[in-house]
Chains A and B, each alone.
Chain A
Amino acid sequence: MAMKQGFIAGLAALVASAVMYAGPSGGTISGKVTYEGTPAKQKPIDMSKEASCAKQHATPLTTETVVTGPNNALENVVVYISAGAPDDPAPPSQPAKFDQKGCQYIPHVLALQVNQTLEIANDDQTSHNIHPLPKTNREWNKSQPPGTPPFSEKYDKPEFIPVKCNIHPWMHGNFAVLKNSHYAVTQGEGGFTLPNLPPGKYTISAWHESYGDQSQEVTISGSETKTVNFVFKAKPY
């Protein structure tokens, strides 16, 4: 019996090492983003001036400046390598998609790369205007009536850009324009994984629209997985 268990364990170890060998080379940084303290209360949004949007939400949508998950998880945090990783030679060919549906931006935080195509769609029966407010990139403000096809834009410098719609002042989102492909945006559980990192010393940063930026230094050697956690201080006001 003990022999059999040992055999199975050995086999499992062999399979595991084979999988690791066959997998992408490089190390991984993973971790979780949480908050401590009391985050600001999110307010319900009254969309009654736009009936076609209001009826899409059975319960009113709330503001999304701080979105939390179970166990103090913090969502919509962009975790990225701010220094140490080489810039990608070319942006990904897939466009980054930003949708307007029910007078809400989906996703609330869109991470994309410098010069990657940004594709913006209007799925609503009303006109929107998309007005990102960059400080270093070129500013534009485009109107998109219902039924018009998606349009494309690009940003050529890394920047975190707030986005608003003047016609529906409650609509608020963010573009995170990043230098390389090593990034993740936290969701429900607040976890992130940045795989395929060649050995080296990195600065890993986490950005949240209300709580700002945090950074940590991480050194990766071989194909190890390092855990890095971020904790943001939340304030009720």
Chain B
Amino acid sequence: MGKLFAVILALVALASAYPIVTHMYVQPVDISTHGHAIDEQLSDTMAESGFAFLGAQLLLAFFVWRFSNRKNGSKVKHLPGGAKLMVATAFILVGTEVLALGVLGQKAWADVYFTAPKQDALQIQSQAGQFAFYFRYPGVDGKFAPLHPDKIDEGNGNYFGLDLANDVEARDDVVTAELAIPVNREIQLLMHAKDVNHSFYVRELRIQQDFVPGLDLSVHFTATKTGKYEIVCTQLCGLGHYNMKAYLNVLSQEDFDKWLKEKASEQ
């Protein structure tokens, strides 16, 4: 009975590793310049934790096989050093694993977070609010007009709180519900939350960044493939969270210019 259990244990462990090892789950297409670093990191993490998982399960199966069917009264043998040695070994092994992931992963992280965007990066502001994303382009003057939260009037399409009557700079700002960007150009997304925490997640961009009310955060990225991708909120933000989404539309520079002109005429 003990031996059968050991075999089942080993088989379950191997079967759960199979889809990972054979890459049955295909990653969504990567459309960013930094995405490969994140993918490599994910696959390193998967390999490291996969080996640890398999090793632990197979060792357990071995012990179950080896020491099952023992006769009553037979003497138990301990590894030398007692529990202290075991705890110290586990501490070193797990510590090394966690530290190694951090050290190896810092490059992927630093590329996105500790490197400043280029000077010519296109700045776009995003406003997240219950339960939609809106985006703002600075218009021909290249400047974002200041925001006045008291002026927010969604029924009037004033999602950001622009003071069109008094700020001349605000009149050319282009506000949209879609995030259109030119391909192969760095984008700096300035993130502003109107009410509670939200998150900007585009799996193809390999970007997931929270919006935090009161903190003006930003991320920068460069998209390398044209197409339409979904932006979803991944922070539970209330009743309509499930429906909080928008679209990222990666266009050629020419199509982007056309799109921006058309949106500007609608303001």
A-to-B contact residues, CB < 8 Å? 40-41, 43-46, 48-50, 63-65, 126-127, 129, 143, 162, 164, 166-170, 172, 209-210, 235, 237
Contact = CB atoms under 8 A, between A and B. Distances in A.
Contacts of A164: 154-155
Interface of B: 129-132, 153-157, 159, 164-165, 171, 176-178, 238-240, 243-247, 266-267
B157 A45 contact: yes
Contacts of B131: 166-167, 169
B155 A172 contact: yes
Q: Is the interface of A mostly helix, strand, loop or mixed?
A: loop
Given A46-B176, A49-B246, A169-B129, A129 B239 contact: yes
A48 B153 CA distance: 20
A46 B155 contact: no
Q: Which of B130, B132, B155 has the most CB of A within 10 A?
A: B155
B178 A170 contact: no
A45 B246 CA distance: 13
Contact of A40 (B156, B245, B266): B156
A237 B132 contact: no
Contact of A127 (B177, B178, B243, B244): B243
A133 to B, nearest CB: 11
5 contacts: A44-B266, A127-B240, A143-B239, A169-B132, A169-B159
B196 to A, nearest CB: 12
Contacts of A41: 267
Contacts of A43: 157, 266-267
A46 B177 contact: yes
Contact of A167 (B176, B239, B266): B239
Contacts of A49: 132, 177, 243-247
A65 B156 CA distance: 6
A166 B130 contact: yes
A237 B246 CA distance: 27
A169 B159 CA distance: 9
A94 to B, nearest CB: 27
Contacts of A235: 165
A16 to B, nearest CB: 46
Contact of A48 (B129, B164, B177, B243): B177
Contacts of B156: 40, 63, 65, 172, 210
A170 B239 CA distance: 17
Contacts of B177: 46, 48-49
A162 B155 CA distance: 9
Contacts of B164: 237
B129 to A, nearest CB: 7
Nearest to A47: B177
A172 B152 CA distance: 13
A49 B157 CA distance: 16
Task: Report the 5 A-B pairs with minimum CB-CB distance, sorted nearest first.
Answer: A172-B155, A46-B177, A167-B240, A237-B164, A43-B157
A71 B11 CA distance: 81
Contacts of B176: 46
Contacts of A45: 157
Given A46-B176, A169-B129, A63 B243 contact: no
A134 to B, nearest CB: 16
Contacts of B154: 164, 169-170, 172
Given A127-B243, A143-B239, A166-B240, A46 B159 contact: no
A129 B243 contact: no
Contacts of B153: 65
Nearest to B170: A237
Contacts of B155: 63-65, 162, 164, 170, 172, 209
Nearest to A63: B157
Contacts of B165: 235, 237
Nearest to A209: B155
B157 A170 contact: yes
Nearest to B166: A237
Q: Which of A41, A45, A46, A172 has the most CB of B within 10 A?
A: A46
Given A41-B267, A43-B267, A49-B132, 4 more contacts: A45-B157, A48-B246, A49-B245, A170-B155
Nearest to B228: A48
